[in-house]
Amino acid sequence: MSQALVYFRNDLRLHDNPALSAALSQADEVLLLYCIDPRQFAELEVGFKKTGVHRARFLLESLEDLNEQCQQLGGQLLVRQGLPEEVIPKLVAQYKLNEVHLLSEVTEEETQVEQAIEQQLKGTNCQPYFHWGLTLYHPDDLPFEPSDTPEAFKAFRNEGTKKASVRDEFPTPKTISWVANVEPTFIPTLSELGFTQHLNEESNYPGGESAGLARLQHYLFDSELLTRYKWTRNQSLGMDYSSKFSPWLALGCLSPRRIYYEVKRYEQQITRNISTYWLIFEMLWRDYFKFLGLKYGNKIFWKKGIYDKSVEWSYDRSTFDRWCQGKTGIPFVDAHMQELNQTGFMSNRGRVNVSTFLTRDLEIDWTWGASYFESLLIDYDVTSNWINWYFQAVVWRYTHILWQSTHYDPKGEYIRKWLPQLAKLPEELIPITFLLTEEEQRQNNFKLGQDYPEPLMIPNKWNRMLKRMGRQ
């Protein structure tokens, strides 16, 4: 009789799960485990937790959901707090397990855990098996080694994904034979993990596979929002302008292949247009960053980054704190930071703008911004986050925040939602609150510096546009 342990990482799902499928086909009985690793909750050098409260909530909800699904199949998800490289060998010895199955990750902290587990199991009767399951395309199916991943996204698509196919999904298990007599699971609460912040509102982003699959069904077949995705994806207000799949993708509650095949079904049953194409196109960015992560390893975290660019960064803590708190005095930036702080999510448009403002205008070290996002984002994905930050900070063209604000939020609706103190201003003044004359402030019963912060800076790059607006 062989018994296997499946160690869940960023694959918190039963559908299309390579590690789980392999264990079920190779072993007679399985034990499913998630480790809450204390290193993931440690304080970062920049002064906040590596995993903040929103992401922690999303994780705990995902564990609850996976456990419930296991219970429906007559078992449970064993959740342990501790280092996986210590917890796993103990369980292996305790339950006389013969195999451990887990997903391979990309970056150092995670791959070190893999090496440590492998090391710990040496000399035992237990064999570790590593599986790939993070991307839409399997690395073995692309015509280049990960170390030769093309530098440009366009080349990655043309020379890579266009020449490969997406593999079939692994089946969702209908029955599971469980290792017997395992102690009952214990999933901690936020306060038991040391969070004191009270989150009373129900989140729009409940964690877990069930919620992820429900969101997929909603965005595609129930609402048919996908049909308009190409034209709405750059907005920021509400739940429907983009798919919002990222939080579930990040923890693996949704498999990228499941999304892909559902979009294909949508194309057959509802419509096939530029939007259906574009959603998959956007998901390729996620793959591209994972492959760049495989290529560059730890360099993705370095200040000089993957292209070794030296920049004189500022380390002005009070400026950085005002950016974090959404108190820069630039409404489009602050509204997005308020949304992030209150929900753990921000649109792609927002991320592009706030990262540009921090790094290109305020010239603060981009790694501080990336760390803040790491702590806050419920969809934190190590490669998408760090490489996007680096590209925004030193590789891609400057994003003109004032232009973006008037273009993507012309009536200031998004800003009003997250900065209600600006709601009393006429809509044309909302994006340029920082320029209000004494007279305009008096007329609108509004005091800059009191009702809303004075701007940290007004970039010179905005002068031309301000002139055109008659503001200079």
Given the rule CB under 6 A, which residues bind ligand FAD?
233, 242-246, 249-250, 279, 282-283, 285-286, 289, 347-348, 351-352, 355, 373, 377, 379-381, 384-385, 388-389, 392
Task: Compute the least distance from the CB of residue 352 to ligand FAD, in Å.
Answer: 5
Angle 396-400-401 from CA coordinates, rounded to 5°: 115
Residue 246 or 433 having the CB closest to ligand FAD: 246
CA distance 411 to 421: 15
Nearer to ligand FAD, 156 or 452 (CB): 156
Give CA–CA dist 78/191, Å, rounded: 20
* Shortest Å, Cβ 71 to ligand FAD: 29
The first and second tokens of residue 287, run together, are 């793959």
**CB 464 → ligand FAD: shortest distance, Å?**
25
Min separation Cβ 166 and ligand FAD, Å: 15
Q: With contact defined as beta carbons under 8 Å apart, do 294 and 168 qualify? A: no
Dist. CA 122–CA 371, nearest whole Å: 35
HSE (side-chain half, CA atoms, 13 Å) at 286: 23
* SS3 assignment, position 448: strand
Please give the Cα distance from 270 to 450 (Å, whole number).
52
Task: Closer to ligand FAD by CB, 118 or 282: give it.
Answer: 282
454-463, Cβ contacts within 8 angstroms, sequence gap of 24 or more = 454/329, 455/328, 455/329, 455/330, 456/319, 456/322, 456/323, 456/328, 456/329, 456/330, 456/362, 457/361, 457/362, 458/434, 459/361, 459/401, 461/361, 461/398, 461/400, 462/400, 462/401, 462/402
Rounded distance, CA 102 to CA 119, Å?
15
Smaller CB separation from ligand FAD, 126 or 352: 352
Strands 29-36 and 127-131: unpaired
- Nearest CB to ligand FAD, comparing residues 395 and 423: 395
Q: In this structure, what DSSP letter does residue 235 have?
A: -
Instruction: Please count the other Cβ atoms lying within 10 Å of the Cβ belonging to residue 70.
Output: 18
* Cα gap 198→313, rounded to integer Å: 35
Query: Cβ closer to ligand FAD: 248 or 434?
Result: 248
Centre a 10 Å sphere on the Cβ of residue 72 and count the other Cβ atoms it contains. Answer: 9
| Shortest distance (Å) from residue 351 CB to ligand FAD | 4
Q: Provide the minimum distance between the beta carbon of 61 and ligand FAD in the complex, in angstroms, as a whole number.
A: 18
Comparing CB distances to ligand FAD, the nearer of 380 and 452 is 380
The minimum distance between CB 456 and ligand FAD, in angstroms, equals 19
In the bound complex, what is the minimum distance in angstroms from residue 162's beta carbon to ligand FAD? 17
Of 323, 327, 320, 340, residue with least CA distance to 434 = 327
The minimum distance between CB 366 and ligand FAD, in angstroms, equals 9
Nearer to ligand FAD, 34 or 391 (CB): 391
* Distance in Å, CB of 290 to ligand FAD, minimum: 9
C-beta of 213 vs 377, nearer to ligand FAD: 377
- Between the CA of residue 345 and those of 55, 112, 246, 359, 409, what are the distances in Å? 10, 29, 10, 20, 18
From the list 436, 69, 398, the residue with the least C-alpha distance to 426 is 436
Nearer to ligand FAD, 108 or 428 (CB): 108
DSSP per-residue letters across 364-394: B-HHHHHHHHHHH-TT--HHHHHHHHHIIII
Residue 251 Cβ vs ligand FAD, minimum distance, rounded to whole Å = 10
- Cα dihedral across residues 423, 425, 428, 431: positive or negative: negative
State how far the Cα of 10 lies from the Cα of 42, in Å rounded to an integer.
19
Q: Which is nearer to ligand FAD, 371 or 385 (CB)?
A: 385
